[in-house]
Structure 1
Amino acid sequence: MSNNQFYKVLSGFEVFPILGPQSKTFKFIELDLSLDSPKLQDVDISSSEDLGRHIWNLLQKNRAQAAYGGYLERRGIYQRSDYFNELDALKERNIHLGLDIWIEAHTPIYAPLEGTIHSFKNNTNYGDYGPTLILRHQIEGYKFYTLYGHLSLESLTEKEIGQRIERGQQIATLGTDEVNGDYPPHLHFQIIRDIQDCKGDYPGVSNQLNLEFYKSNCPDPMLLLDLV
């Protein structure tokens, strides 16, 4: 099934707001963290505190509750971690495959569609997801997955593989920088068509060599979000 066909299958289903019904009244602003963003010239992106101040100042300036962005964005933020770096520029993982929603820690996260828990894990590499949850969904016989990264540790408690999740059920809360890979609080949300035997983890950042595969396997997350 092509991505266009996949979009068509899901377009007929009403998704639950991932930040809850109250988020329908939120003002969202788009956040640019790309390598060539002029707004990051004076920001130390290797520091979660400095980047956090930049984000919250933008939110306050725009009287917004949350910021979003990042799908297929080429970022410099991963250069701080050996987990992403490669000597060969073509192999350096710096192209973001999910969509980030930047909002304060402990914000509740809800399931946009019904499904079951596929897997969960605390990914503790520096700059990694931290606590991560993956749901499995099936619509009209078509199976796919959604990944939720940078959660709180409490989000992984009392979870069971195969546990049924209802549309609109709270599934997690956002973590702080101490547990989420050392980032300002945010949700990494990603759609995955083929999970490739991964459990509790899936690449959220690609290099240039593998980008075409991941673009096909990880469609635009805005398909299941309503942020604008």
Structure 2
Amino acid sequence: LPPDEHPKRIETLMAPDMYRGAFANDPQAAAKYAADADRAIATLRERGHRPAAFIVDTALCSSGVLRAPENYFNLIAEKVRSAGGFVIADEVQAGCGRMGTFWGFRANGLKDEYVDFVTMGKPVANGHPLGVVILSSALMKRFLNGAYPLLFSTFGGNTVACAAGMAVLDVIEREDLIKRSAAVGDYLRQELRRLAERHAIIGDVRGLGMM
């Protein structure tokens, strides 16, 4: 949806585009892009909403698989947590080793201590219907102690789906696919950059691992 059609409890942030964005060639790009979180938090508060969470695919797939400036995600995480919100890393596309590390948020510089929840789905079971939510032990204890209501699913805990998920993890480990993703991705970008030197139509080559 366009920003003006979003529910009033949702705010989106400016994409940290280092190719054609507002601060593409600015040495302070990380801080300047991250400052948009201050605007979003203030806007939500004006509407009577405390920020609940910052949900992010750190690969920024829907924005063009952008490479955010160093420390960008950590700066936003600090702002959101200071405002009382959680940080949720959406790993549906970036996870499972695609970016040369198992967690895409690590490849993109978001520190572990800032991540409260991780969500995964689709590729985690090679297309079999399986969704995964991972959270810190501290948060899990609060759920188990009744601080937060637990949700359930009619189809949750499906053993076939779980077996498919375990099989995917076994293959990733056995075939060393994370290391291969990093190596093949580096080679691919190296060769694409050589092509870019000869063809002006190629404006930018970016990514990590196989993304």
Structure with greater Cα Rg: 2
TM-score normalised by the chain length of structure 1:
0.31
Which structure has more relative contact order (CA 8 Å, sep 6+)? It is 1
Whichever structure has more strand as a proportion of its residues is 1
TM-score normalised by the chain length of structure 2:
0.33
